[in-house]
Chains A and B, each alone.
Chain A
């Protein structure tokens, strides 16, 4: 997902008897469904885990602009270009909502950005894949934003107030992202055989990376139990992955595209699709920094921050200059 394999600092979930009074009261609050707000008591691990999760999520929104930005100047029509720009602008906003939510936990935005630029903080594996054709823009909106929605809707009910509120804002905007992507796919699939082949090629390349977005299988997810108890993760990786596959297969059928998974089959008994496993080695390699675009993505972010530094500083200097006479007038 946009936050993957978030370290909770816990090897196992602690029972109520092992918690001190504050911690127990905190957990009981969460169990009752009461939101935790920034000034409330919270265990240090909860705070740190949330900083990791929310900042990773924010970084994903920001870095996620890059693969799509690749096609702004080459969008097929002015209308598609304006739509893509608006979508990318939304993602910048999502990053901002999330950085603000993380800041309420006592970390500055500059610190979070420094952690991203140094490689200490992660962002979603999915944004380390290249966008080779216009159809990739369709596939990203349809599949990547579709997968993100699946994860973000439950997070609107998560235990931390600022995160839940940021997610509510984000979810209101995501549906546009998914639909504009599917709309691109429809146009290509109703077009020439070459255009339809382009759509199929994009689906072939994006399918498995998207399936991986949900993170490793549940039995390998050591930190999920703690995050579930804290209600900052509401469904397991495998549950969300299943839902995504079930939802997406009919959408691919409508387009007349085939999903590149030999094992994909409707299971009437379960009432779900059975499907194959992605190459988890590839996933762990991408997470480690060895995906097709990791170096390029990070270098682009670092360069943008460095190139804009003089301008950000000039604005501060301008503000300081204009504040001084005002302060004098007030005195």
Chain B
């Protein structure tokens, strides 16, 4: 039997109130061990208060080749940013 363990992506919430952030990956036979290993590898210096692990195989990623069709349309829509609208000096609190 092969002993090759699946790969997991690890996400850590560094403090209460912040989002979980991807920190790296590791191998583990199952989710429980993945959390244990993530504790040992990624939080030895109080880096986190919560851990998520996700099987790498379960992640769907956009491909670099699709960058233009995915992200270019947003470029021409600068009016989505508040700085697009200059406000008169005299107007306050806006």
Contacts and interface: CB of A to CB of B under 8 A. Distances in A.
Interface of A: 37, 39-40, 86, 89-90, 93, 96-97, 100, 103, 108-110, 165-166, 169, 173, 309, 312-313, 315-319, 322-323
Given A39-B61, A103-B7, A318 B41 contact: no
Nearest to B30: A319
A97 B24 contact: yes
A169 B44 CA distance: 12
A118 to B, nearest CB: 17
Interface in B28-71: 29-30, 33, 40-41, 44-45, 61, 63-64
21 contacts: A37-B64, A39-B63, A40-B64, A93-B40, A93-B41, A97-B41, A100-B7, A100-B24, A100-B25, A100-B26, A109-B4, A109-B27, A110-B3, A110-B4, A312-B3, A312-B5, A315-B30, A315-B33, A316-B29, A317-B1, A318-B29
Contact of B64 (A39, A317, A322): A39
A106 to B, nearest CB: 13
Given A318-B30, A319-B33, A323-B30, 15 more contacts: A37-B64, A89-B44, A90-B44, A97-B24, A108-B4, A109-B27, A309-B3, A312-B5, A313-B1, A315-B29, A316-B1, A316-B3, A316-B5, A318-B29, A319-B30
Contacts of B3: 110, 309, 312-313, 316
Contacts of B41: 93, 96-97
Contacts of A312: 3, 5, 29
Nearest to A101: B24
Contacts of A313: 1, 3
Nearest to A94: B41
Interface residues of B, number: 20
A74 to B, nearest CB: 24
Contacts of B7: 100, 103
Interface in B55-91: 61, 63-64
A103 B4 CA distance: 13
Nearest to A41: B64
Query: Closest 9 A-B residue pairs measured CB to CB?
Result: A319-B30, A315-B29, A312-B3, A319-B29, A100-B25, A313-B3, A316-B29, A93-B41, A110-B4
Contacts of A317: 1
A319 B28 CA distance: 10
Contacts of A315: 5, 29-30, 33
A322 B7 CA distance: 18
B68 to A, nearest CB: 14
Interface string B1-24: 111110100000000000000001
Nearest to A97: B24
Contact of A96 (B1, B4, B5, B26): B26
A165 B40 CA distance: 19
Contacts of B5: 312, 315-316
A322 to B, nearest CB: 7
A90 B42 CA distance: 10
A309 B40 CA distance: 21
